[in-house]
Amino acid sequence: MADTLTNATIHAALAEARERYIAANSASLAAHVEATAVMPGGNTRTVLFHAPFPLTMARGAGCRLWDADGHEYVDLLGEYSAGLYGHSNPVIRAALDGALDGGWNLGGHGVMEARLARLVCDRFPSLDLVRFTNSGTEANLMAIATALAVTGRRRVMVFGGGYHGGILYFGASGAGFGIPINAPHDWVLAPYNDAAGTAALLDESIGAILVEPMQGSGGCIPADAAFLAMLRAEASRIGAVLIFDEVMTSRMSAGGEQARLGITPDMTTLGKYIGGGMSFGAFGGRRDIMERYDPRLPDAIPHAGTFNNNVLTMAAGVAGLTHIFTAEAADALFARGEALRVALDGITPAMRWTGVGSLMCVHFQHDAPHAPAGLRDRPDLRELFFLDMLQGGFYLAKRGMVALSLEIGDAEGVAFVDAVREFAQVRRGLLQ
């Protein structure tokens, strides 16, 4: 009976929050209705949709956003970790202006691409050679295909709860193979953070092991160092290619989680902020693997992509890694995120915050999940939290994820902690 009453109260609170949201966002509603005429559900990027309709953002500056109705928000979404530099960094802007002054769509090798490749290879321990793509999804697809080509095997180990791109989704619950449009590889689904359970599935039929050092879409659940070390050892034993998907976790130090933990994979995939906020992806690794793409070789593997070396991404990426996201800046951002997560996690035992560094996610449960199987799905409370945070002027992922940008300062962090504390007080009767 108590659960029934609590659920009824949550539904009433959520209905009220939705009504408040609808009344306050008429311009976003009109934009959504117009978009539905030409896009399914008015949407071309599923993760950004939320009920009763998504906000339409009109502009951004620094760490702030303004929607079509003129509301101002502190941007805690950080474009799902791609927006590391905020919305108006002058160094990035100058690099883009310079690239535009030189023309675009040049159809040849550019002056910046080797510079960006050198910066990336110098940062990440696993990268002897690297190739660029247009997204993290594409980078992961290429890394998988490369691993299978060099091993001559067909099976790919992934992990329940993993997300490696739009067609490489393995379910937030860890219960299955995700979505019907997943790439049709011979998948082996292993339990994340379960060394014994995973080791039991490893054999010499597996050509690639693809893992996130922290599951981003799956709830910001970090991998245990011992679990990743086991994967490193077992991949070497069976001759499989170990791939770290560091599309999100590459920001955890100048050399990503692999450098922070001291565990070096055979290949790494990258994306998000490394292109300076422009479209970007990359895959790379050991020289003997990546040399297969050398077009000077008679049996080279081809790899095309019209915009792989587009001048805007190359220029912005070089500027960002050279002048802004230095090793010192990476360490400072990591420390700021760790401190913020500790403060948030201490507000109430009914809200657990997991993550690493500047990436974190809230879970409405008393025990912090260590694996996808430990997640307690509370979509009602997540939506209520999301709508209440919007009301308070904070924009984050609808699933409760936060990705700090370099523009987020102490004042924004303190204000967010205060807003979450107020939510916990006002909604304390709903939190169990």
Q: Provide the CATH topology of domain 2-84+327-426.
A: Aspartate Aminotransferase, domain 1 (3.90.1150)
Residue 178, pLDDT score: 74
Residue 6, pLDDT score: 62
Return all residues near 371 (Cβ < 8 A) that are at least 6 apart: 160, 161, 174, 191, 192, 193, 194, 221
Strand 57-61 with 186-190, pairing: unpaired
Which residues does residue 131 pair with via DSSP β-bridges, in sequence order?
283
Q: Provide the CATH topology of domain 90-324.
A: Aspartate Aminotransferase; domain 2 (3.40.640)
Q: Give how far Cα 300 sits from Cα of 121, 122, 139, 292, Å.
A: 21, 25, 18, 5
**Which of the residues are catalytic?**
163, 245, 272
Whether residue 40 has a cis bond before it, omega within 30° of 0: no
Separation between Cα atoms, residue 283 and residue 269, nearest integer Å: 4
| Under 8 Å between Cβ of 65 and 59 | yes
Same fold, 2-84+327-426 and 90-324: no
Angle at the Cα of 102 from the Cα atoms of 100 and 104, rounded to 5 degrees: 60
Query: Which structure tokens are listed for 120?
Result: 């990336």
Q: What residue ranges do the domains of the chain occupy? A: 2-84+327-426, 90-324
Q: What is the pLDDT along the chain (432 residues), one digit of tens a residue?
A: 345 546 669 999 999 999 999 999 999 999 999 999 999 999 999 999 999 999 999 999 999 999 999 999 999 999 999 999 999 999 999 999 999 999 999 999 999 999 999 999 999 999 999 999 999 999 999 999 999 999 999 999 999 999 999 999 997 544 456 789 999 999 999 999 999 999 999 999 999 999 999 999 999 999 999 999 999 999 999 999 999 999 999 999 999 999 999 999 999 999 999 999 999 999 999 999 999 999 999 999 999 999 999 999 999 999 999 999 999 999 999 999 999 999 999 999 999 999 999 999 999 999 999 999 899 989 999 999 999 999 999 999 999 999 999 999 999 999 999 999 999 999 999 997
Check residue 163 and report its DSSP letter. Answer: B
Return all residues near 122 (Cβ < 8 A) that are at least 6 apart: none
Give 266-329 as a DSSP string. Answer: SEEEEEGGGGTTSS-EEEEE-HHHHGGG-TTSTTPPP---TTTT-HHHHHHHHHIIIIIS-HHH
| pTM exceeds 0.85 for this model | yes
Check residue 249 and report its DSSP letter. Answer: G
